[in-house]
Structure formats: structure tokens, C-alpha cells
């Protein structure tokens, strides 16, 4: 029984880490695209960093939850 619980916890942790890296990848790709769009459309008016910062806070919070917190899945 205890072995199964440990195995399930490990699967949940692995899934949480996978989801974090997917989130980080989408964040990077989208923000590079936003930078390029900003560069092409309005060079003098830099706005791309606002979504970069706002979403970045969410990515950092997600990472802290996955790697340092419980992530809503029990103790890490």
C-alpha cells in the first residue's frame, strides 16, 4: 500500500514538472513572437515587456509551487 502511494506521488510530481516546462516553453515562444511583433509594428513604443512581466510572475509562481511547494498535490 505504501509503495503504491509513493509511486502515485512520484507520478503526480513528474506530471507537475512536465506541465511547468510546457508552460515555460509556451511563455518563451509567445513572448519572442510578441517581441518580434512589437519590433516590426511599433519600434518607438515598447510594450512587449508588459505581458512578459505579467505572465512571468505567473510562471515564477508556477515554478515555485512545483519545485518548492505542494502544488496542491500533497507534500513535496
Residue 1 pLDDT grade (very low, low, confident, very high; cuts 50, 70, 90): low
Q: Cβ(12)–Cβ(73) under 8 Å? A: yes
Domain boundary assignment for the chain: 29-60
Q: Comparing 13-17, 33-37, 69-73, which segment has the lowest mean pLDDT?
A: 69-73
pTM (two decimals): 0.81
List the beta strands (DSSP E) in 26-68.
none
**CB-based burial label for 70 (10 Å; 0-12, 13-18, 19+):** exposed
pLDDT digits (tens, 9 = 90+) for 26-64: 999 999 999 999 999 998 899 999 999 999 999 999 999
Amino acid at each position: 500500500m505504501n509503495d503504491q502511494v509513493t509511486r502515485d506521488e512520484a507520478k503526480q510530481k513528474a506530471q507537475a514538472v512536465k506541465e511547468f516546462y510546457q508552460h515555460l516553453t509556451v511563455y518563451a515562444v509567445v513572448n519572442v513572437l510578441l517581441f518580434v511583433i512589437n519590433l516590426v509594428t511599433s519600434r518607438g513604443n515598447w510594450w512587449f515587456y508588459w505581458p512578459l512581466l505579467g505572465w512571468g510572475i505567473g510562471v515564477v509562481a508556477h515554478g515555485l509551487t512545483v519545485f518548492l511547494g505542494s502544488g496542491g498535490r500533497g507534500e513535496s
